[in-house]
Amino acid sequence: MIWHIAKKEIYQNLTTLRFVLMIILLPILMIANALIYGFGDAGYTAEIRDYNRKVTQGLSHIKAYAAKGLGELAMIGPSEIPKYPTQLKFCADGADAFIPRSITIAGARGSRSGYDGGVVEDYRWRELWSLEYLPSNHGGDATTLIKIDWVFIGVFMSFFVILFTFDAIAGERARGTLSLMMSNQISRGQVLLAKYLGAFATLIVPLLIGVLMNLLIIYLSGSIPFDSGSWLRILGMIGLFALHISIFIFLGLFFSSRVSNAITSLVWLLLTWVCLAFIFPSLLGLFVGTLDPIPSIERISAEKRLQLANIEDEFQPREMLEVTKLSEAPSVDNPSATRHWATYFRRRSETRTRIADARVDQQLRQVQLARELTQISPTVCFQYAMEGLANTGIVSYMNFVKQVRRYRDTFIDFIKTEDRDDPNSLHIYPVREGLSQKLVNPDVVPRFKEHISYQSVFFPVGLLIVFNILFFIAAQLSFLKYDLT
């Protein structure tokens, strides 16, 4: 009996105008997505080419300075660290155009010149390297604000779910067929399950066809390679589509069994859909932004200049009337002066690192809080889970930042370990003259390798399952109390 009702639902859905609209619009969106990301000028091919160029430059950088000695390599550090582009950006773009694609290495050169009664030695120095988090330089314009990725198509599908379910119960009652159906030996729970299966099959089959068309076009374009891991992630995304569609089917059945006519059900469903998909996420994101405003770059830069100026005054007063801590240049023969310069460089490096890291951490904490609050919406949970599987979005950048910082520690530990093995070194870090001057084998220098983490997927997927259970229970209880006449 369940399958009989489900088949009737499928047949009724196939003969409606809403199905015709969906079967036309869905393939158009999927083909548009494939053409944009498969044949676009700024697609994956261009990104991977730029990434490979930066990696090659980084290797050349390491080789060049390793040939100058460990001390020189220690001060200059690695080259720019690029973020690996993902080939599944067509599934979840994640506002990638607004997220930095690399972290640069900042440093400075300087010199100390002789003064009468002041500095007595000329010394050209290189400041210790540090990470610098630059904003994205390829932000979007009006044409890139809306991306036709799979997440967008998922929101589009949730709207059609509403159109297919708003009259599932109320429409049957208005036509007088609901009481006739319930006169048979079938429970209300079985009727609800049959209607769910009918709506789900009507929606998921065209979606699968659209996905296959999309993947076939992208595969034939040859611009985006797929490996076994990519195919597994795509299967996971199809599962996310199913969970997302299922939630709105239960939501539609719930409202349809709460009201007496289909128009009222449609109005409530549309209001709920707009709130869950757009209003709640936007308002909560705006609210989080007002809780802890992030200082502007100008303010941060002014604070950094002030603190660095204080360090400069402490070690090298502007009025050069007497010998100061940095009057003598560092050298193997002058460990005392070398230690003074090490303290100076370390203080400057710690200040720059603390200020840069603190600003980025504040931004990421704010984003994380906004993400946690906006996950009251199943649509947002669907988006975050898709971004997690595609390795796009702000969480992907957060993981990248953490890994780069671990690499920073690994690189410094490597320098110190290599220096300890040289008996001729003063072992004073971080001064070029205080470290070993031996040549370094570039092949043993640590290289950065990004590792994809899928931990951010678990929580939104869990919430999608919880939403399904809650809305199923709500629809079931509502239908049990529904007046059939």
Instruction: Say what the pLDDT of residue 451 is.
Output: 92
Instruction: Say what the pLDDT of residue 124 is.
Output: 79
Contact assessment for residue 52 and residue 85, using Cβ atoms and an 8 Å cutoff = no
CA distance 141 to 221: 26
Task: Tell me the H-state helices in 146-279.
Answer: 150-165, 170-175, 177-182, 188-221, 228-256, 262-274
Instruction: Say what the pLDDT of residue 189 is.
Output: 87
Instruction: Say what the pLDDT of residue 181 is.
Output: 79
Task: Check whether the bond before 85 is cis (ω within 30° of 0).
Answer: no
Q: Which helix (H) or strand (E) holds 144?
A: none
| DSSP per-residue string spanning 3-24 | HHHHHHHHHHHHTSHHHHHHHH
Which parts of the chain sit beneath pLDDT 70?
Answer: 41-42, 108-121, 136-146, 292, 316-324, 485
Instruction: Say what the pLDDT of residue 41 is.
Output: 59
Instruction: Say what the pLDDT of residue 314 is.
Output: 84
Instruction: Say what the pLDDT of residue 121 is.
Output: 60
DSSP state of 347: H
Contact assessment for residue 210 and residue 27, using Cβ atoms and an 8 Å cutoff = yes
Contacts of 207 (CB under 8 A, 6+ apart): 26, 157, 241, 245
Instruction: Say what the pLDDT of residue 112 is.
Output: 62
Contacts of 304 (CB under 8 A, 6+ apart): 351, 352, 355
Instruction: Say what the pLDDT of residue 1 is.
Output: 73
Instruction: Say what the pLDDT of residue 485 is.
Output: 66
Residue 440 CB coordination number (10 Å): 23
Q: Which helix (H) or strand (E) holds 104?
A: strand 102-106
Instruction: Say what the pLDDT of residue 221 is.
Output: 86
Instruction: Say what the pLDDT of residue 317 is.
Output: 57
Token digits for 215? 């993947």
Name the pTM for this structure.
0.89
Residue 179 CB coordination number (10 Å): 12
Instruction: Say what the pLDDT of residue 110 is.
Output: 66
What does the pLDDT look like over 11-64, one tens digit per residue? 998 999 999 999 999 999 999 999 988 887 567 888 899 999 999 999 999 999
Q: Is the dihedral of CA 20, 23, 29, 32 positive or negative?
A: negative
Instruction: Say what the pLDDT of residue 377 is.
Output: 94
pLDDT averaged over every residue in the chain: 88
Instruction: Say what the pLDDT of residue 134 is.
Output: 78
Closest Cα partner for 337 from 106, 107, 70, 125?
Answer: 125
Instruction: Say what the pLDDT of residue 127 is.
Output: 82
CA distance 251 to 478: 11
